[in-house]
Amino acid sequence: MYEKYLGVIDSRADLFCGVSDALWDHPEAAYKEYFASDLITKTLEENGFTVVRGLSDIPTSFTATYGSGKPHFGILAEYDALEGMSQVGESTKRESIPGKDCGHGCGHNLFAGGSLAAAFAVKAYIEETGRGSVTLFGCPAEEGGGGKIYMARDGLFADIDSVVSWHPERMNMVRTRPALATRHVEYSFVGTASHAGANPQAGRSALDAVELMNVGANFLREHMDLSCRIHYAILDAGGDAPNMVQSHAKVLYYVRATDSVSAQALTERVNKIAQGAALMTETEVSINVLSGYANLITIPTLQATANEAMHDIPLPVPTEEELAFAAEIQKTIELSEEDRAKPMLADTVLDPVPPKPHGGSTDTADVSWCTPTVQMHVANWAVGTPGHSWQSVSQSKWSFAKRMMLWAGKAVAGTIMRLMENPELVEAAKREHAEKTKAGYMCAIPAGAKPNIPPRP
C-alpha cells in the first residue's frame, strides 16, 4: 500500500546516489562537514523542506521539516568521515588517494543519502494524506565528537514521537544489540622541564605521569565488570628529545560500561588513578570531559514495525559484476567459518534476535533516551567486511552499496508510514520507552558546555 510513495525513491535515485557520491568524494572529519551540510540542506530546501542550521552551537548541524503537527517523526542522517582512512573507491586493494586523509569507513555518505531518500518518500505521503510531519536531523561528528549528545541535551528530539534510523552493515536486520555508555576524557599533565642528564633532580616528568596512569588503568581492568572497556591513546608525549624531562603530556581515555551511571562511576576511578599518578610524579593534572554517550534504549514495538517494513520490500539482486567484486574484497579479509558459510552479499532480511553483548557505542543512544528510537542494519558491504577499514571505504562508493542505500531509504520510510497509519503502535512505543527510561536521561555533557569546533577551512 506504500509502493506509490516509495516509488519516489526510485524516480529520484540519481539525486540520492549523487549526494552519496559527492559526500564520498569530499570526506570531512567530525565538526568539519561543511560541504556535506551545505549540499544536503540545499537539496532539502529546493524540495520544499524548512531548514534550520547551526543547532546546539554546531555549524554543520541542521533540521529539515516537512508538514506540521502530530504525529511527528524523526529521521537521522550522519555524514562525517574518519581521519586516516583515505582509500580509492571501488578498489580491491589498499591504495590511498594522494592529498586526501579522510575516508567514509563507516559509510556515512550512504547513511546521509539513504536518510535523504526516506525523507522524500515520507514527504510524498504527507502531501497526499495531510498527516503529521517529518524532520530529518543532520547529525555531525558521530565518530567520536558526539554531535547528537549536544542536540539531545538541548531538547531537539523532545517533540518527536519516534525516530527511525539505519546504518550501513553486513546484514539486513533490525538492531537488537545494545550499545555501551561511554565517557571520553582528556587528561593533561604539567610538570617541570630540565636537562635529563645534567640536572635530572630538578625535573618533574609529565610523561612519567601519563605512563604511570596507563599502568594503573591496566591494573584496574582486573577489578572492573567484564562488560566494561577502557581504551586510551597518548595525544602528546611531551616532545621527541630523550635528554629532556617532559614538562607536558596528554592522554585521551574512552571509558565504557553498560549504562551511564556505571560509566560515570568507572570514570571516577580512572580519575583517581590520574590524580595518583600526578601525586607520585609531583605534576599537576587537569581533567576535561570531552563527550560521552548514553547506553542504547531499544523499543520492541518499533523493532517489530521496522522488521515488517524490511520484509515487505524486495531486496536488490546483485549483478554478476557486483558478486565478482565482493569475491575479490573477501579475499582481503580473514573470514570466520560462520561468514564463509554465508552468501557473499546478504540476500535475506533476518528476524530480530535476542541481544548479545556488544562493546561498541553510538551517540544515537542519547537520542534513544529522549524519544522511542529504532535502528536498522542494512547490508551495503560484503559479508565479513570490518567497519572502519579500507574495504568499507572502497565499498561505500560501489554500485551495490548505493542500491542497498536506496532500499534502506524505503525501509525507513515504510516504517514511518506504518506508524502514521497505526497510532496505537506509537502509543505502545511511548509506554515501553517511559518504562525503560524511568531513571531519567543522564547527559555526559554539562549544561552550557559547547562542542570543540575547529576553525572552518
pLDDT class of 355 with cuts at 50, 70, 90: confident
Q: Do residues 80 and 185 both lie within one domain? A: no
Q: Count structural domains, the chain.
A: 2
Q: Do residues 174 and 185 both lie within one domain? A: no
Q: Residues, the chain, total?
A: 457
Confidence check: pLDDT of 82 > 90? yes
Alpha-carbon span 78 to 405, nearest angstrom = 13
Question: What pLDDT, on the 0 to 100 scale, is given for residue 31?
Answer: 96
Q: What average pLDDT does the chain have?
A: 96
Question: How much is the average pLDDT of 54-75?
Answer: 97
Evaluate whether residue 449 is within a structural domain.
no
Evaluate whether residue 246 is within a structural domain.
yes
Q: Which grid coordinates belong to 197?
A: 642528564
Question: What pLDDT, on the 0 to 100 scale, is given for residue 326?
Answer: 98
Q: Give the tens place of pLDDT for each residue, 223-243.
A: 999 999 999 999 999 999 999
Q: Do residues 318 and 354 both lie within one domain? A: yes
Confidence check: pLDDT of 76 > 80? yes
Evaluate whether residue 341 is within a structural domain.
yes
Evaluate whether residue 450 is within a structural domain.
no
Q: Do residues 354 and 205 both lie within one domain? A: no
Alpha-carbon span 350 to 300, nearest angstrom = 16
Looking up residue 199, the CATH number of its domain turns out to be 3.30.70.360
Query: Cell 563507516 belongs to which residue?
Result: 106
pLDDT class of 356 with cuts at 50, 70, 90: confident
Query: Cell 506508524 belongs to which residue?
Result: 419
Question: What pLDDT, on the 0 to 100 scale, is given for residue 391?
Answer: 98
Q: Which grid coordinates belong to 204?
A: 618533574
Q: Do residues 50 and 81 both lie within one domain? A: yes
Looking up residue 329, the CATH number of its domain turns out to be 3.40.630.10
Alpha-carbon span 67 to 71, nearest angstrom = 10
Q: Do residues 147 and 241 both lie within one domain? A: no
For residue 129, how many other CB atoms are within 10 A of its CB?
13
Residue 197 CA neighbour count, 13 Å, CB half: 3
pTM greater than 0.85 (yes/no): yes
Q: Do residues 19 and 148 both lie within one domain? A: yes
Q: Which grid coordinates belong to 143?
A: 565518530
Q: Give the tens place of pLDDT for each residue, 112-133.
A: 999 999 999 999 999 999 999 9
Evaluate whether residue 442 is within a structural domain.
no
For residue 282, how many other CB atoms are within 10 A of its CB?
13
Confidence check: pLDDT of 358 > 80? no
Q: Do residues 286 and 332 both lie within one domain? A: no
Evaluate whether residue 122 is within a structural domain.
yes
Evaluate whether residue 445 is within a structural domain.
no
Alpha-carbon span 384 to 271, nearest angstrom = 38
Q: Do residues 133 and 244 both lie within one domain? A: no
pLDDT class of 359 with cuts at 50, 70, 90: confident
Q: Do residues 277 and 310 both lie within one domain? A: no
Confidence check: pLDDT of 144 > 80? no
Evaluate whether residue 441 is within a structural domain.
no
Question: How much is the average pLDDT of 10-35?
Answer: 98
Question: What pLDDT, on the 0 to 100 scale, is given for residue 8?
Answer: 98
Q: Give the tens place of pLDDT for each residue, 262-282.
A: 999 999 999 999 999 999 999
Question: What pLDDT, on the 0 to 100 scale, is given for residue 197?
Answer: 94
Question: What pLDDT, on the 0 to 100 scale, is given for residue 448?
Answer: 85
Q: Give the tens place of pLDDT for each residue, 410-443.
A: 999 999 999 999 999 999 999 999 999 999 999 9
286 backbone dihedrals φ, ψ, rounded to 5°: -115, 140
Confidence check: pLDDT of 357 > 80? no
Domain interval for residue 154: 3-179+294-436
User: Do 362 and 398 form a contact (C-beta atoms < 8 A)?
Assistant: no
pLDDT class of 360 with cuts at 50, 70, 90: confident
Q: Do residues 270 and 364 both lie within one domain? A: no
Question: What pLDDT, on the 0 to 100 scale, is given for residue 449?
Answer: 86
Percentage of the chain beyond pLDDT 70 is 100
Question: What pLDDT, on the 0 to 100 scale, is given for residue 235?
Answer: 97
Question: How much is the average pLDDT of 241-247?
Answer: 95
